Amino acid sequence: MVRTKLIAGNWKMNGDSRSIKQLMDGIKEQLDPAWQSEVLVCAPAVYLPLVVDFVGISGIKVGAQNLSQQAQGAFTGEISAAMLSDVGGQYVLVGHSERRSLYGENSKLVAEKFNAALTKGLIPVLCVGETLEEREAGTTMTVVKGQIDAVIEQYGIETLGQGVIAYEPVWAIGTGKTASPEQAQAVHADIRAHLAQFDAQIAHKTRILYGGSMNPTNAEQLLAQPDIDGGLIGGASLKAEQFIAICKAAG
């Protein structure tokens, strides 16, 4: 089985109706239907309906960047999986490092969000990754496995296998400092080997994306690695030409 590559833009808290329309126009115009990869844009929640309208029949997938672990009720300010799904969302990021570090999300909560997404038919993208200190201390895989195991321990490997994993070394996010293709491949291969200890088939079919300063210059080499199944792109996803160049590199 060949894993379909996934190129996902994470717009973070950027843009407005006007710039988003421009960006979507640019992406749609330049998207080549011959490319095999799946293309996803993760927009700020309030703009999801706008983006869903815009993608129309282009085949571009739409996702959110966060969700509540709760199904519904008195949770002021939160947005449920059902709501995201109701307005046309198909994917949702969970456990992005910015959510973990700035909003105190721990791996148990992230696992709950992962599961909540699936209950409403959204595909969760579980973001994992180590800080620079953790890498330098040689604990990269301990950290990454811990973040993944939180889902497996609470909900099982079959649940994990219904989502996507994104390896995003914290030190490479928004820094212009990318993991080398070899560094990224090594972690991706270790993640897959770890999943295989639970279920070889799930390990083989699970898509593992790389994120962290991916751009048109480094995308091709990263995406050529055997265990890198796509990208989660921040900064470069805000410019149509750059995002498209990465989609093109994925083919």
Q: For binding to ligand 13P (CB under 6 A), which residues are involved?
A: 10, 96, 168, 173-174, 211-214, 232-236
The DSSP symbol for 237 reads: G
Task: Report in angstroms how near the CB of residue 94 gets to ligand 13P at its nearest.
Answer: 12
Residue 238 CB contacts under 8 Å (≥ 6 apart), including other chains: 9, 11, 14, 15, 23
Could you give the CA distance from residue 101 to residue 123 in angstroms, rounded to a whole number?
Answer: 23
DSSP 154-201: HH-HHHHTTSEEEE--GGGTTSS-PPPHHHHHHHHHHHHHHHHTT-HH
**Comparison of 120 and 239: residue with beta carbon closer to ligand 13P:** 239
**Comparison of 232 and 247: residue with beta carbon closer to ligand 13P:** 232
Task: Report in angstroms how near the CB of residue 174 gets to ligand 13P at its nearest.
Answer: 4
One-letter identity of residue 69: Q
**Comparison of 44 and 211: residue with beta carbon closer to ligand 13P:** 211
DSSP 27-54: HHHH--TT--SEEEEE--GGGHHHHHHH
Q: How far is residue 98 from each of residues 10, 19, 153, 230, 246, measured CA to CA in Å?
A: 12, 23, 23, 20, 23
For the annotated catalytic residues, the residue numbers are 96, 168
Per-residue buried b or exposed e for 222-249, using 16+ beta carbons within 10 Å of the residue's own CB: bbebebbbbbbbbbbbbbbebbbbbbbb
**Comparison of 96 and 192: residue with beta carbon closer to ligand 13P:** 96
Task: Report in angstroms how near the CB of residue 24 gets to ligand 13P at its nearest.
Answer: 18
Could you give the CA distance from residue 158 to residue 122 in angstroms, rounded to a whole number?
Answer: 15
Task: Report in angstroms how near the CB of residue 1 gets to ligand 13P at its nearest.
Answer: 26
Could you give the CA distance from residue 157 to residue 169 in angstroms, rounded to a whole number?
Answer: 23
**Comparison of 95 and 161: residue with beta carbon closer to ligand 13P:** 95
Burial tier of 102 (Cβ tally within 10 Å: 0-12, 13-18, 19+): exposed
Task: Report in angstroms how near the CB of residue 197 gets to ligand 13P at its nearest.
Answer: 27
Closest chain position to ligand 13P (CB): 234
**Comparison of 211 and 230: residue with beta carbon closer to ligand 13P:** 211
Task: Report in angstroms how near the CB of residue 177 gets to ligand 13P at its nearest.
Answer: 9
